[in-house]
Structure 1
């Protein structure tokens, strides 16, 4: 699966608040063997929100976590944007969400708070442990949560534990070599697209080094292509160390 985060909040971009969603989601994914493919921090701007949703929707393996904009104030656009993109604009008064809001606020649920129960068609509930106003999901892979980390974090865990508890193991190998990336480019060109590969150059007191990472769900494949770097470094008598990361 390809995991995406969409963090909606003009106040993040103008510096009034600091984001806590990216790091939390990233950590929870890594615990389970998943990784993010992309993360978007965007303004509260409906056409742009929908453009991002449409982009993610084009990926048949997408799983999206969206943060913010599902409240009842005039600048909370996410519920309608989600409906426009994922359910052909169709919304409904979600009975489970309606009950949660009425149970929490009684008469004060009207006239505004109750609107948070108007969700895209066939939305499923995500539990809000703070004030009982639920987040929601669509197709078990698009998840919409509040902008408040105290509310959204438990929803992230709920969604991951229910639908994406554990990825299969990825085998990763690291080394750090006393050379530049340039010395290893010919080997880099031999790495197939389906192998997770990265090189991280470093300069310390004018001395160049590079950290090489090779990973795959196929252990033998990962080791095979990692060995190409080891063999070349040995052949050229370039010092390197294997790293545990």
Structure 2
């Protein structure tokens, strides 16, 4: 199953805030044997966000969305999800209970607004301040604040998506190749892809001290196919006259 993330907020696109959700999402997924397939970003523009969400839902993929679920005028995610799915917003009883539990006698209509969710939504608990996120289908809508969003994403991964853990035997392996041009390796790369059904990648490194050319050359795919492809890759790189060095597997 493909997993994506949607990062929402003008502050990211303008550079006022630096996104941290991408790196953390990769970390949280990797720890559970999962991987990220795509990422999108969108500003606080409701029509554009509605269109973006329609496209995300249309993939059929699981995805996590960060940001814009509050109740200030620049928060559009709840309304955009409802519009994208052609449902109404309604005060969710569990969300209302959480908000009232958080604020007690200080609960106001403005605070309850954060509990108005798409009609078919289910809540995602927020251990930080009890203001929940929400889910609809296989899409999960979380706050933009990392201190809230990351524990909430972990909860989703370990409850609703626990069955996906380590279900994908996708791995990557690579070696350093020295003093080669990518064009010299391209025929080998294509042949290995065709033969083993893996993706062969090359990542040139232009920052090697002394100016020596260095390319990370590797394969990604199922474990058996990658192991077989890498055995041939190592042999053929040496046959082409290039030195190589092993790269330890990533944790």
Mark yes or no: TM-score above 0.5. yes
Matches within 5 A, 1:206-245: 206-217=211-222, 219-245=223-249
Relative distance call for 1:83 and 1:187 in structure 2 (3 A) is: same
* 1-structure distance, mates of 2:229, 2:58: 31
1:124 corresponds in structure 2 to 122
1:200 corresponds in structure 2 to 203
Under a length normalisation based on structure 1, what TM-score does the superposition of the two structures give? 0.90
Q: Given the alignment of the two structures, is residue 187 of structure 1 paired with residue 188 of structure 2, yes or no?
A: yes
Q: Secondary structure at the match of 1:69?
A: coil
Structure 1 position 194, deviation (Å)? 5.2
Under a length normalisation based on structure 2, what TM-score does the superposition of the two structures give? 0.88
Show CA shifts across 1:31-77 (max 9, x none).
112222222232111111122212222222x1111111111112211
* 2-structure distance, mates of 1:242, 1:73: 52
Show CA shifts across 1:75-96 (max 9, x none).
211001111223x233322110
Structure having the larger proportion of residues in helix: 2
Structure 1 position 120, deviation (Å)? 0.9
1:65 corresponds in structure 2 to 64
- Matched-pair contact (CA < 8 Å) for 2:91–2:112: no
1:76 corresponds in structure 2 to 75
2:142 corresponds in structure 1 to 145
Relative distance call for 1:172 and 1:22 in structure 2 (3 A) is: closer
* 2-structure distance, mates of 1:223, 1:15: 41
Q: Given the alignment of the two structures, is residue 160 of structure 1 paired with residue 163 of structure 2, yes or no?
A: no
* 1-structure distance, mates of 2:177, 2:108: 65
Matches within 5 A, 1:1-40: 1-40=1-40
CA RMSD across the alignment: 1.9
Show CA shifts across 1:153-188 (max 9, x none).
111100111133413333332111121211110022
* 1-structure distance, mates of 2:184, 2:170: 27
Q: Secondary structure at the match of 1:153?
A: helix
- Matched-pair contact (CA < 8 Å) for 1:80–1:89: no
- Matched-pair contact (CA < 8 Å) for 1:79–1:119: yes
* 2-structure distance, mates of 1:12, 1:227: 43
Gaps of 5+ in 2: none
2:134 corresponds in structure 1 to 136
Show CA shifts across 1:200-243 (max 9, x none).
112332321211121222x3321232233223223223211222
1:106 corresponds in structure 2 to 104
